[in-house]
Structure 1
């Protein structure tokens, strides 16, 4: 039996010119994650092309002391909501709730296939690419993937046969640097842990 650990990246730099990098708290989360997983011996480590995913992997791998090969697979990248990057740069932690309200409304339209901008990835294509990425790493005994909330929520919802309704409930509660575990066996894939974050202190728990 194999296992795949899906790790959400640490807290990124909300409200700055470069959102796609870990904040100081995000770095602390990644270090705590590495300590918690130090006893694990993965055969493969994967992260997407986003900087926040890569930096989380780098901190965690260094602390855990792993020597497994590290691969980059863009299929693990987060979906990009049109306009979100600009809104993040203009926002501050004091108006994070306003951004979250906009983001959730935009996500609902995306899930429903409404108002897609030219070049924006439809939800069906998003689930197809993340499912393909999961199938690829599931071939290894133990794989650790550093990705984002969207892919983790989508894959978890699929394994629960919950569809878009499950995705909509899972996505907002995901903690930065949390661990979601999937077992791979004769019966296929089974979700056995979602959003585990006991390795974080209360002060380190963040959602965005």
Structure 2
């Protein structure tokens, strides 16, 4: 049996013109995760990563914290890329959309995102420039199959909340609404773990942040 560590990227840049960029806090979160794993002697046998900037930056910070001169060759997989949140919102809302810069605008943003996710996942909308949810879900399913069939030992996967929640939903045969709830609760740099063998994956943990489990670390926990 092997273990798959699914890591959501560190805090990105919500409210900025380019969300796909780790904030300094996001880099710190991921570096601390690498340091936590180094303190426990964890070494990875395979590394898979989405193709977005925040994925690559998160992996680089984790590697820095691990202090390993060489991680296994990184395997980029498009199936680990996140959905387009603005396209989802635009598919259900045509009014002016303010960037989430304060608590109220953030609440409005995530209300609209939830509505957009619900419509997309149920097949009611086709957001511009995005695959169907069935195609999106098939992308992460293909990665999980690859891990089962081609990997062994300790496998690191760096992605986003959408693909990770989809992976968990597939394992648990969860409803679309439950997958949305999982998605919107995954914290930055959080780790979910699957055990895997040639035939199946099994859930071990969800949304853990052991690297931030200290009085100082608690202040570093974020979800957006």
Shift of 1:91: 3.0
1:153 aligns with 2:162: no
Distance change (3 Å), C-alpha of 1:191 and 1:74: same
Distance change (3 Å), C-alpha of 1:90 and 1:70: same
Q: Which residue of 1 aligns with 2:37?
A: 37
Shift of 1:137: 2.6
Shift of 1:152: 0.6
Instruction: Please tell me whether the aligned partners of residues 16 and 89 of structure 1 are also in contact (alpha carbons under 8 angstroms).
Output: no
Instruction: Please tell me whether the aligned partners of residues 82 and 120 of structure 1 are also in contact (alpha carbons under 8 angstroms).
Output: no
Secondary structure at the residue paired with 1:59? helix
Q: Which residue of 2 aligns with 1:140?
A: 151
Shift of 1:168: 2.2
- The structure 2 residue matched to 1:92, chosen from 94, 101, 109, is 101
Shift of 1:136: 1.3
Q: Which residue of 2 aligns with 1:176?
A: 188
Map Cα deviations across residues 171-190 of structure 1 (whole Å, 9 max, x no partner): 12111100011101365210
1:204 aligns with 2:220: yes
CA distance in 2 between counterparts of 1:172 and 1:23 reads 19
Q: Which residue of 2 aligns with 1:78?
A: 82
Gapped regions of structure 1 (runs ≥ 5) = none
Shift of 1:155: 0.7
Q: TM-score, normalised by structure 2?
A: 0.86
Instruction: Please tell me whether the aligned partners of residues 47 and 72 of structure 1 are also in contact (alpha carbons under 8 angstroms).
Output: yes
Map Cα deviations across residues 59-110 of structure 1 (whole Å, 9 max, x no partner): 1012102322222211110122343699988331442111111111111111
1:117 aligns with 2:133: no
Aligned Cα RMSD in Å?
2.0
Q: Which residue of 1 aligns with 2:93?
A: none
CA distance in 1 between counterparts of 2:65 and 2:204 reads 25
Q: Which residue of 1 aligns with 2:138?
A: 128
CA distance in 1 between counterparts of 2:29 and 2:97 reads 21
Distance change (3 Å), C-alpha of 1:77 and 1:42: same
CA distance in 2 between counterparts of 1:186 and 1:73 reads 20
Q: Which residue of 1 aligns with 2:49?
A: 47
Secondary structure at the residue paired with 1:90? coil
Question: How many correspondences in the alignment?
Answer: 208
Q: Which residue of 2 aligns with 1:5?
A: 5
CA distance in 2 between counterparts of 1:71 and 1:85 reads 31
Map Cα deviations across residues 28-56 of structure 1 (whole Å, 9 max, x no partner): 11111111222211111121111011100
